[in-house]
Amino acid sequence: MIDIGKNVWGETIQRIYPDLFIFDDQATWNSGQFVRPSVFVETDLVSEKTHTPQSIRIIEDVGLVFHYDFERISQEDKGEPIPFDLYPFFLYLRQNRYCIASQRFKTMLVVEPPRTREKSDQMEITFRYSYLLHVPKRTVTDDGKEIMKINDFYVEANGQEVKA
């Protein structure tokens, strides 16, 4: 199964910060071998519950780690971190009332208010979100027979059977 939540967050961040490098590889993040400024996206499934017969409600946690760039006086020198402006990201969430719609994946995420944790060279933002995932209705039984759909409905009106 593709990770819809992670892809929607990538699309959203790309919409807000078009020049920012986005990655989700845990090994790259742990090794520290990535371009700065960048954002690391990690999602974690909390639960999935049946919402209707044709949909499942997925609840996930996401962690967005925005890594700051460093001041460079010379090529070998790594100076002070340059704080990244996260105001556009929080403004985007507020303007959309914490509902993020993806045009590419046709999914809407309902987001809870974020929690932030600032470190010297990065800002970590975590929050929980949910979305509905469509489950296609089965059209074939286990033994291979096609399930017949009812397309015509009849009601009784004034003592006569009428197509509804």
43: burial class by Cβ within 10 Å (0-12, 13-18, 19+)? buried
Q: Which residues of the chain have pLDDT under 70?
A: 1-2, 71-79
Q: pLDDT tens for residues 37-79? A: 999 999 999 999 998 888 999 999 999 999 988 766 666 656 6
The Cα 26–Cα 40 span in angstroms is 9
What per-residue confidence (pLDDT) applies to 2? Answer: 61
What per-residue confidence (pLDDT) applies to 99? Answer: 95
> Which two tokens mark 55?
């949909």
> What is the dotted CATH code of the domain comprising 4-163?
3.30.2000
Q: What is the pTM of this model?
A: 0.78
> Which two tokens mark 45?
């499934």
> Which two tokens mark 86?
């996260």
74 CB-near residues (< 8 Å, 6+ apart)? none
Which residue is associated with the tokens 């999914």? 107
